[in-house]
Chain A
């Protein structure tokens, strides 16, 4: 499906927010795809990190809101340590998550956990999941 990219479609304020939240100059990405090769979830996600980076560079705010990949990210930092441009890609994924979570949206519902699951779960699993996926 062709995608129209023009000065009209590029959301400059969105690009600025991603850069400000992540502290990363996303324009450094030159689309080598090393991040996706390093990502343990790359065979399961709908959009590999290389593509997410390009969409962010082009300010494709609405299209990025549909992407599920960064909700499957486990913040393992494999992309970050392998990026030849020195970009902390994990921080860009966090910025994209926060732009949704800060609208008071939960991507995981803590109340969905039943008592039996809670009984066995290590605290760090719950704390980290709620930190990453709830508002």
Chain B
């Protein structure tokens, strides 16, 4: 089995902490994980209009690259890339007419019929690596760290690409338990953070982000874990504005799930990249005597 890795644009620039931690963790777990030698932006969002096939070309090209690499699976870390690639893949598997149109349009490429499976890294960890393997490789168990599991939208919706059935989500909790942390479920775990409305309607985005942070605090979380760079931007980078607008008095440290994995595996700062997180995120780990 060969597994391709699709990083996406943001992981190479603004979310190096999401990527570096994942790549180092995979190496530490002894998993063969090959980045696509050539890839393009997936388009970030799935085209919802029935007549808009041109925007499916970008994600399908990435899937063709994975097929050319001889892989039967392509793994992504960014939630938005996961959603866009997985939905384009479903379209190519299920819609014969649109598949033919797209394949005819990309006549310089090999025909694609959905041969590659699109996986989010969490599913890959659970199904291909296994929680026991992760548990056995942990060198620094994150004992006593109460972490809110924030899934957001694109890992969970729509149903046909949800990484787990809606209403029965356990994967983030299983992951946190495997690395020794205490998962905290909270009511707004799958509520939208405002997404790209942070640009067009920032006040509205701050409101929904505030609701999410407040809900996590009320549930007893000390920190929050997530897998989407846009959620991270809205909930962490923009947190000072969100806290002020919503009159929330406590800061919430936010991490990518891969960073906690890398720390639990005993990997150093060059892997964990906490230097790219907020100050309070680093403070909390220092206070807990974790190696940062």
Residues of chain A at the chain B interface (Cβ within 8 Å)? 20-23, 40-41, 44, 71-72, 74-78, 80-81, 88, 90-91, 94-95, 98, 107-108, 113, 120-129, 131-133
Q: Taking the nearest CB of chain B, how far is it from the CB of A97, in angstroms?
A: 9
* Cβ B158 vs Cβ A40 within 8 A: no
* Cβ A122 vs Cβ B49 within 8 A: no
A127's closest neighbor in chain B, by CB?
Answer: B44
Asked if B48 lies at the interface with its beta carbon under 8 angstroms from chain A, I say yes
* Cβ B9 vs Cβ A72 within 8 A: no
How many of chain B's residues have a CB under 8 angstroms from any CB in A? 44
Residues of B within 8 A of A95 (CB): 48-49
Can you offer 10 A-B residue contacts whose CB atoms are under 8 A? A72-B201, A74-B196, A78-B153, A81-B157, A90-B48, A122-B10, A124-B196, A128-B44, A128-B196, A128-B230
Known A75-B48, A75-B195, A128-B45; 15 more pairs at CB < 8 Å: A20-B51, A21-B49, A40-B194, A44-B204, A72-B200, A72-B201, A88-B48, A121-B14, A124-B44, A125-B196, A127-B9, A127-B44, A128-B80, A129-B199, A131-B43
Asked if B192 lies at the interface with its beta carbon under 8 angstroms from chain A, I say yes
Asked if B250 lies at the interface with its beta carbon under 8 angstroms from chain A, I say no
* Cβ A22 vs Cβ B50 within 8 A: yes
What mask results when residues 231 to 259 of chain B are scored 1 for a CB within 8 Å of chain A, else 0? 01100010000000000000000000000
Number of residue pairs A-B, CB distance < 8 angstroms: 130
* Cβ B43 vs Cβ A127 within 8 A: yes
- Partner of A129 from B14, B52, B157, B196 at Cβ < 8 Å: B196
* Cβ A122 vs Cβ B192 within 8 A: no
B157's closest neighbor in chain A, by CB?
Answer: A77
User: In whole angstroms, what is the CA distance A95 to B51 when docked?
Assistant: 10
User: In whole angstroms, what is the CA distance A126 to B200 when docked?
Assistant: 10
- Partner of A131 from B51, B55, B191, B233 at Cβ < 8 Å: B55
User: In whole angstroms, what is the CA distance A121 to B44 when docked?
Assistant: 14
User: In whole angstroms, what is the CA distance A4 to B10 when docked?
Assistant: 50
Asked if B101 lies at the interface with its beta carbon under 8 angstroms from chain A, I say no
* Cβ B9 vs Cβ A74 within 8 A: no
Q: Taking the nearest CB of chain B, how far is it from the CB of A47, in angstroms?
A: 15
Asked if B141 lies at the interface with its beta carbon under 8 angstroms from chain A, I say no
Residues of A within 8 A of B55 (CB): 131
Residues of A within 8 A of B232 (CB): 122
B198's closest neighbor in chain A, by CB?
Answer: A125
Asked if B92 lies at the interface with its beta carbon under 8 angstroms from chain A, I say no
User: In whole angstroms, what is the CA distance A124 to B80 when docked?
Assistant: 8
Interface residues of B in 127-145 (CB under 8 A from A): none
Asked if B119 lies at the interface with its beta carbon under 8 angstroms from chain A, I say no
Q: Taking the nearest CB of chain A, how far is it from the CB of B246, in angstroms?
A: 13
User: In whole angstroms, what is the CA distance A120 to B202 when docked?
Assistant: 15
Q: Taking the nearest CB of chain B, how far is it from the CB of A18, in angstroms?
A: 11
User: In whole angstroms, what is the CA distance A107 to B45 when docked?
Assistant: 17
User: In whole angstroms, what is the CA distance A126 to B45 when docked?
Assistant: 11
* Cβ B45 vs Cβ A131 within 8 A: yes
User: In whole angstroms, what is the CA distance A88 to B8 when docked?
Assistant: 27
* Cβ B197 vs Cβ A72 within 8 A: yes
B46's closest neighbor in chain A, by CB?
Answer: A75
User: In whole angstroms, what is the CA distance A81 to B111 when docked?
Assistant: 32
Whether A74 contacts B197 in the complex (CB less than 8 A), given A80-B157, A81-B157, A131-B55, comes out as yes
